[in-house]
Amino acid sequence: MSEIQSAPPAAAIAEADVPWLSDDEQRAWRAYLRGSRALEVILDAELQAVGVSLAEYELLSMLSEAPCLTMRMSKLADQTVQSRSRVTHTATRLQRRGWVERHPAPDDGRGIQLHLTDDGLAAVRFAARVHATGVQEHLIRQMDPALFRSLGDAMDKVRTHLLGEQPANYNP
């Protein structure tokens, strides 16, 4: 996973220097926190109903968009902002279903590449219909297009701050 920038330890911040949230900031923060969690819960539940978790779907969809349906597991971890250990566990579950295969990386022999199988491609195509419908219903249709673009722009800034990635032309 990419190195996430963190704030200084609480002990290093004097009480007078704490940047407390204003009432408006607190309302917006809590709305974001609760809304994003609720969205993740419903999207996961909808995917679970067709036999795949949101975390599994995210890996499968990344592989379905990768050249030759193959990607290094470390790159998958970085792009999904998950630990390498978590990606390994998810890949193991997917491999048991016959949806992915692991192969040594040809360029260095130490890395592992994950390859999406034909069965995995069929599974992600089926799940994608459920996922796209859920994202449309539960997120995109809840706001006008300008507000949705602003949400994307705002999260690009957060990602750039935390991960140091460039938001322009970001292609997950």
For the residues of 61-128, what is the DSSP string, one character each?
HHHHHSGGGEEEHHHHHHHHT--HHHHHHHHHHHHHTTSEEEEE-TTTSSSEEEEE-HHHHHHHHHHH
Domain boundaries, position 110:
24-161
Angle at 127 between CA 129 and CA 168, to 5 degrees: 75
Which CATH number goes with the domain that contains 154?
A: 1.10.10.10
Position 127 in a domain: yes
Position 78 in a domain: yes
Position 122 in a domain: yes
- Looking at the 3D structure of the chain, how many domains does it have? 1
pLDDT bracket for residue 17 (50, 70, 90): confident
Tell me: pLDDT of 93 over 60.
Answer: yes
Position 170 in a domain: no
pLDDT bracket for residue 3 (50, 70, 90): low
Tell me: pLDDT of 170 over 60.
Answer: no
User: 114 - beta bridge partners?
Assistant: 71, 102
Tell me: pLDDT of 2 over 60.
Answer: no
Q: What is the mean pLDDT of the chain?
A: 90
Q: Percentage of the chain surpassing pLDDT 90?
A: 75
- Selected residue with higher pLDDT from 29 and 5: 29
Residues 133-156 have pLDDT tens digits of 999 999 999 999 999 999 999 999
Tell me: pLDDT of 9 over 70.
Answer: no
